[in-house]
Chain A
Amino acid sequence: MITDVSTVIGAGTTPPAGAAAPFTYPPATHLWAAEPPTPAAAPSFLARVLSGAATVAIGATGIAAGTAAMIGALHPVTLDWAVPLVGVDLDLTPLGGLFALLIGIVAIPVGIYTVGYARTQHMGRFSLTVLPIFVAAMLLVSAAGSVPTFLFAWELMAATSLVLVWADHRRPAVPQAGVFYAVLTQLGFMLILLALVLLAAGAGTDNFADIAALADTLPGWTRSTVFVLTLIGFGSKAGLLPLHAWLPRAHPEAPSPVSALMSGAMVALGAYGLARIGLQLLGPGPRWWGLCLLAIGAASALFGVLSASVATDLKRLLAYSTTENMGLVAVGLGVAMLLASSGRIQIAAIAATAALLHLVAHAAFKTLGFLSAGAVLASTGERDLDRMGGLVHRIPATTVLFGIAALGASGLPLGAGFVSEWLLLQSLIHSPTPNDPLLALAVPMTVGAVALTTGLGVVVMVKAFGVGFLARPRSAGAADPLPVPRSMLAGMSVIAAACVVLAVAPVVMSPALTSALRGLRVNAAPLGPVLLRLPGVAGTVAPAVLGAGLLIAVLLVVLISRHGIRTRPKPVTSPLWACGADGLTPRMQYTATSFAEPLQRVFDGVLRPDTGLELDRHPGSQYVIAHAAYRARQRDVIEEHGYTPVLRAVRALAQVVRRAHTGSLHLYLAYGGAGLLTVLIVSLVASR
């Protein structure tokens, strides 16, 4: 465990000594519109510890069950008494076991973290009660063995997460985020419901194991309809385009442990749905399935990373980064599907390994990212990167932990995300097939998208870490942060350890991935102990050797640069270069907005920022400017240009439908009678 040491801010940090006039920070823009309402009393110690312990225990259950499932020690269980009429079918497959493991890895640190977070951020007793239920619902999704159980668990997960997003409902931005999340998640649920009902009706059974056996006998159009519906439905949960808009709204507004659970684990279950239905039950399908998934994944990855590069809200940035990473996962699954249907099973296995490993790595680094963003929020009250800075001096442990998360998210070597991206590129490099123009066109485009995404991903994380944590504080809150509670640091340290293990020794995931892949109708792809050497593929990398080599090389350079140290004068500290002027204020630093400005300019056509300069001229002379205001807003392009027309159409339709609602009870009774009659006639005709 690492501990933050809070020290009194010295002259060296802020504002600089010898400034002509004392620097004052701009007034705080609160997340609250007016005065914040009087906070509810912090929940009692017992309530916090109980909630945290329950979450940790459920997480540990997930890890145990997942491990047991992957070594094949679990058998399907049916609990008839649990839900009336249908019962609950539990069947944790090896693939589901991997996701149960992932949920456990995320839930344990979140449980520890919540103990401290709930005190500083006054999480209500209700939220504390729902939090473990949310984790349990996610585990139930991964263990569901039949269609009704899956739908029940899915809806329980959606409802509990919605309640948690709505926890701070008195803050003005929260209800809007909640409505967005509710609508998109229910829209996704509707599509999944339709797809699974179609599937179960076609196969004549609602048990997943039986459906898998019968899937090949289903007519082609049923399979394709089910695939497209689940692609959009699960895609909305995974934050893929076009139903991604809930992520950048709900993640920032939810309490940070909830954001971490949603972004680390719940979003991964969207990918679980895609893999389970698309690859395991129905696959390998026609080639356009793989191409669809590939296209959506590549578009999501690029859109996510571009939006993240211009986002200034730290949690919004992390949410867009989730869209980016899930896009990469979808690319991996898409390549696996495409290659499996082209008969390249071994390479398809590498692509699927890449997708699953990236899910695990993403769960680790994104959980850490959201937890440390929450620690910053709790200690400074700031979420806006433009108002942060200098945190390294006051909360160094949190800074280091966020640095580990950022290194993982940027996909650089020695980060948790590097190996999975490496595997993805390896699968692409070995996919050329003789006389296959479709692959020869699709794969280079994918390589381009993945390469651009990784390049821009580095910008995002340099911005988040460099602007947010280094340099000098840009607001009073950042200049004087409160110490971070020990339990929060402990929780973050646990998941940081997972990040480090995934970065240096990704081979620990090898048995789990092998067993999960066995169910995916693709062969296993074991990773070697030190070198990552793939079966049938030339190309190796050794992250641990790379890390050791870099350490040795850096030490070597330090040793060389000690040449002449005896004749050097004593080291000194001197003021920064201010072009000869005096008093460099924190306002003169680059902010997150200015840092991203060059990229915003380069990708102007895609991002379409709303910028403008408004000048109020003096009434006496047009050459004298009385007041100037610069406006720069970055909105979600897809939301603005894609959702607005749909919403307008829905509203217009609602107006038409409203005419039928006159308020007359007789009329409503007549509607009911007519409806019942129609159902009876239809069922009569259909049964003939």
Chain B
Amino acid sequence: MTAITALATVGQMAAVFLGAPWVIGMMRQVRARMEGRVGAGIGQPWRDLRKLLHKQQITPTGTTAVFAIAPAVVAGSTLLIAAAIPLITTASPLDAAADLFAVVGLLLIGTVALALAGLDTGTAFGGMGASRGIMVAALVEPTMLMAVFALSVPAGSTNLGAIVSTTDAAPWLALSPSALLSLAALVLVIVAEAGRLPVDNPSTHLELTMIHEAMVLEYAGPRLAVVELASGMRLTVLLALLVNLFAPIGIAGPEAGVAGVLVATVVIVVKVAALAAALAFVEVFLAKLRLFRVPELLAGSFVLGLLAVTSAYFFAGAGS
């Protein structure tokens, strides 16, 4: 670990923290323009967060510490992921401590914290959101595990730094059948995990269709700000991970200098912005699926993941 990689790791956390609201704002702006509206501007989520942070702290009756700390746990676990995964540098000092199974587990810790907070309120909405959110997470997690598993077989390691370095050194690996299958599976589960259309509608407030919004219905003021920030950061981290797993161009290696790190930062910001804009563009044409059609979508992505792993094994068997 050099000072520069440590700096790059801090940069990753800062970029995710500062950039997440802008990613959300940009996606809303793209959607607004596509629908013929003017839109509130890219900076609106940041303005919302500042407003919420100055509001009164309200604790709903009968809720416990679980409800109070859940937002910080979601945001904290996401920040830790942002530090550990290869976004700017493949040589994060935390890379050896958190491989892809740990990253998937940390994502799940966030979901579990929010679901427990939903149950803790003891209302019908909280329970409903928790039940649905956990159902989606339970089906997303295996698929995500399978998809990244398929990618780690050619790299021979489950550490994300090694996987990304392998793809960076040999970009044609991203075109192998197993990589393409896992790309398809990952796109589906990231959409589900981040609560985007067609799985969940981030802007809905209709009780019967909500998943994420139902879980966090009782949050207000500063805690709501943390929840909103965390969900934005989760989306940003997932998009950045997706883009770096399949197109790691420009990422800084372990020996990169300050210039390399700066270039890598700019490159990842551009890549994530482009991917987020593309996602928002596609979302305009989608309608939300009925809740019980969602498992079918996720089962489909699970099968894609299974096929990806199988073909990775056959590929590994034939190649070596």
Q: Report which of A14, A436, A574 forms a contact with B60, defined as CB distance below 8 A.
A: A574
Docked pose: A563 CA to B57 CA in angstroms? 12
B79 touches A553 (CB 8 A): yes
B109 touches A465 (CB 8 A): no
Given A444-B309, A577-B123, are A538 and B156 neighbors across the interface (CB < 8 Å)? yes
CA distance A455 to B302 in the complex (A): 12
| A459 and B134 form a contact (CB under 8 A) | yes
Q: C-beta contact mask, A456-468 vs B, less than 8 Å → 1, else 0?
A: 1011001101110
The verdict on A546 contacting B157 (CB below 8 Å), with A455-B139, A573-B61 known, is: no
Do B306 and A444 have beta carbons less than 8 Å apart?
yes
A472 touches B96 (CB 8 A): no
Interface string of B209-241 (1 = CB under 8 A from A): 000000001100111011000000000000000
| One of A63-71, A251-259, A445-453 contacting the partner | A445-453
B116 and A462 within 8 A (CB):
yes
User: Chain B interface: which of A421-429, A505-513, A637-645?
Assistant: A421-429
Asked if B306 and A448 make an inter-chain contact with CB atoms under 8 angstroms apart, the answer reads yes
A594 CB within 8 Å of chain B: yes
A residues in contact with B222, CB < 8 Å: 561, 564-565, 568
- Stretch touching chain B among A120-128, A477-485, A581-589: A581-589
Shortest CB-to-CB span from A453 to chain B, Å, is 8
A20 touches B (CB below 8 Å): no
Question: Is B257 in contact with chain A by the CB < 8 A criterion?
Answer: no
Pairwise interchain contact B157-A539, C-beta atoms closer than 8 A: yes
B266 to chain A, nearest CB (A): 25
The distance from the CB of B112 to the nearest CB of chain A, in whole angstroms, is: 6
Tell me whether A393 and B64 are in contact in the complex, defined as CB-CB below 8 angstroms, given that A412-B105, A540-B99 are known contacts. Answer: yes
Provide 19 A-B residue pairs closer than 8 Å at the C-beta atoms, listed in order of the A residue.
Answer: A389-B122, A412-B105, A429-B149, A432-B313, A440-B313, A448-B146, A451-B141, A455-B145, A550-B73, A554-B76, A567-B54, A568-B55, A572-B59, A574-B60, A576-B62, A590-B119, A594-B127, A599-B135, A599-B138
Decide if B225 touches A429 in the complex (CB within 8 Å): no
Closest A-chain residue to B316, C-beta based?
Answer: A432
Q: How many Å from the CB of B130 to the closest CB on chain A? A: 7
A13 within 8 A of B: yes
Instruction: Give the distance in Å from the alpha carbon of A87 to the alpha carbon of B138 in the complex.
Output: 53
Contact of B141 among A12, A454, A588 (CB under 8 A): A454
What 1/0 flags go to A9-20 for Cβ under 8 Å of B? 000111011000
Judge whether B60 and A550 touch: CB under 8 Å. no
- Shortest beta-carbon distance from A574 to chain B in Å: 5
B97 near A549: Cβ-Cβ < 8 Å? yes
B137 close to A434 (CB less than 8 A):
no
The answer to whether A466 touches B53 (Cβ under 8 A) is no
Number of A-B residue pairs having CB atoms within 8 Å of each other in the complex: 290
Q: Does B279 contact A (CB under 8 A)?
A: no
A-contact 0/1 string along B62-98, CB 8 Å cutoff: 1010100101110111011001100000000010111
Q: Does B201 contact A (CB under 8 A)?
A: no
Q: Are A568 and B56 in contact (CB under 8 A)?
A: yes
Residue numbers of B with Cβ under 8 A of A are 17, 50, 53-62, 64, 66, 69, 71-73, 75-77, 79-80, 83-84, 94, 96-99, 101-102, 105-106, 108-109, 112, 115-116, 119-128, 130-132, 134-135, 137-143, 145-146, 149, 152-153, 156-159, 162, 217-218, 221-223, 225-226, 291-292, 295, 302, 305-306, 309-310, 312-314, 316-318, 320
A667 at interface, CB cutoff 8 A? no
Task: Check if B314 sits within 8 Å of A549, measured CB to CB.
Answer: no
Known A-B contacts: A470-B119, A472-B122, A564-B53. Give 4 more (CB < 8 A).
Answer: A553-B76, A557-B79, A561-B222, A568-B221
Contacts of B54 in A (CB 8 A): 564, 567-568
- In this assembly, does A72 line the interface, its C-beta being within 8 Å of a C-beta of chain B? no
State whether A561 touches B226 (Cβ < 8 A): yes
The answer on a CB contact under 8 Å between B122 and A458 is no
Contact B124 A588 (CB under 8 A): yes
| Residues in A neighbouring B149, C-beta threshold 8 A | 425, 429, 447, 451
**A430 within 8 Å of B by Cβ?**
yes
* Chain B neighbourhood of A163, CB < 8 A: none
B314 partner, pick from A440, A447, A472, A601, beta carbons under 8 A: A440
Instruction: Known contacts A589-B127, A602-B295; decide if A410 and B112 are in contact (CB<8 Å).
Output: yes
Is A578 positioned at the interface, with any CB of B under 8 Å from its CB?
A: yes
Chain A residues in the interface with B (C-beta under 8 A): 12-14, 16-17, 389-390, 392-393, 410-414, 418, 421-422, 425-426, 429-430, 432-437, 439-441, 443-445, 447-448, 451-452, 454-456, 458-459, 462-463, 465-467, 470-472, 531, 538-542, 545-546, 549-550, 553-558, 560-561, 563-565, 567-578, 584, 586, 588-590, 594-599, 601-602
A440→B310 contact, CB < 8 A: yes
Residues in chain A near residue B77, CB distance under 8 A: 550, 553-554
Contacts of A560 in B (CB 8 A): 17
Report whether B317 and A433 are in contact in the complex, using a CB–CB cutoff of 8 Å: yes
CA distance A333 to B40 in the complex (A): 58
Contact of B310 among A441, A578, A594, A602 (CB under 8 A): A441
CA distance A118 to B139 in the complex (A): 42
Alpha-carbon distance between A565 and B225 when the two chains are bound, in angstroms: 13
> What separation, in Å, do the CA atoms of A443 and B313 have in the docked complex?
8
Contact of A451 among B73, B115, B145, B159 (CB under 8 A): B145
Q: How far is the CA of A456 from the CA of B317 in the complex (A)?
A: 31
A277 to B38, CA, bound (A): 73
Give Cα distance in the complex from A533 to B93, angstroms.
Answer: 15
Contact in complex: B105, A418 (CB < 8 Å): yes
With A439-B313, A540-B97, A545-B97 known as contacts, the answer to whether A466 contacts B56 (CB < 8 A) is no
Tell me whether A572 and B50 are in contact (CB under 8 A): no
* A575→B60 contact, CB < 8 A: yes
Q: Which residues of A contact B130 (CB under 8 A)?
A: 462, 466, 590, 595
Verify B80–A448 contact, CB threshold 8 A: no
On whether A573 and B60 interact (CB within 8 A), knowing A418-B105, A440-B310, A539-B158, the answer reads: yes
Q: Which residues of A contact B139 (CB under 8 A)?
A: 455, 602
Contact of A554 with B72 in the complex, beta carbons under 8 Å: yes
Q: Whole-angstrom distance from the CB of B235 to the nearest CB of chain A?
A: 17
CA A421 to CA B105, docked complex, whole Å: 11
Nearest-neighbour CB distance to chain B for A179, whole angstroms, equals 35
A554 in contact with B115 (CB, 8 Å): no
Of residues B128, B317, B320, which shows the largest number of chain A Cβ atoms within 10 Å of its Cβ? B317
Tell me whether B64 and A561 are in contact (CB under 8 A): no
Which of A17, A393, A455, A571 makes the CB contact (< 8 A) with B138? A455
* Residues on A with beta carbons closer than 8 Å to the beta carbon of B73: 550, 554
Give chain A residues whose Cβ lies under 8 Å from the Cβ of B53. 561, 563-564
A564-B55 Cα distance, complex, nearest whole Å: 8
Nearest chain-A residue to B149 (Cβ)? A447
Given contacts A16-B61, A557-B72, A577-B217, contact A531 B97 (CB under 8 A): yes
Nearest Cβ distance between residue A561 and chain B, in whole angstroms? 5
Q: Give the residues in chain B near A17, CB-CB below 8 Å.
A: 61
Do A538 and B314 have beta carbons less than 8 Å apart? Answer: no
Does A458 lie within 8 Å of B124, measured CB to CB?
A: no
Q: How far is the CA of A174 from the CA of B264 in the complex (A)?
A: 66
A598 B317 Cβ-Cβ under 8 A: no
* A447 touching B120, Cβ below 8 Å: no
Query: Judging by beta carbons under 8 Å apart, are A541 and B309 in contact?
Result: no
Partner of B58, one of A14, A433, A572: A572
Q: A429 with B153: in contact, given A412-B105, A447-B146 (CB under 8 Å)? A: yes
The answer on a CB contact under 8 Å between B313 and A472 is no
- How far apart sit A595 and B112, CA to CA, in the bound complex (Å)? 14
Q: Which residues of A contact B116 (CB under 8 A)?
A: 462, 465-466, 470
Q: Which of A12, A471, A531, A602 contacts B135 (CB 8 A)?
A: A602
Of B71, B83, B127, B320, most buried by chain A (CB within 10 Å of CB) is B127
Known A-B contacts A443-B313, A561-B222; A422 and B56 likewise in contact (beta carbons under 8 Å): no
Give the chain B neighbours of A545 by CB distance below 8 A: 94, 97-98
Q: Is the CB of A576 within 8 A of B142?
A: no
Check A531–B96 contact: CB distance below 8 A.
Answer: yes
> Given A538-B162, A561-B53, A471 and B119 touching (CB < 8 A)?
yes
Q: Which of B121, B124, B141, B226 meets A455, CB within 8 Å?
A: B141
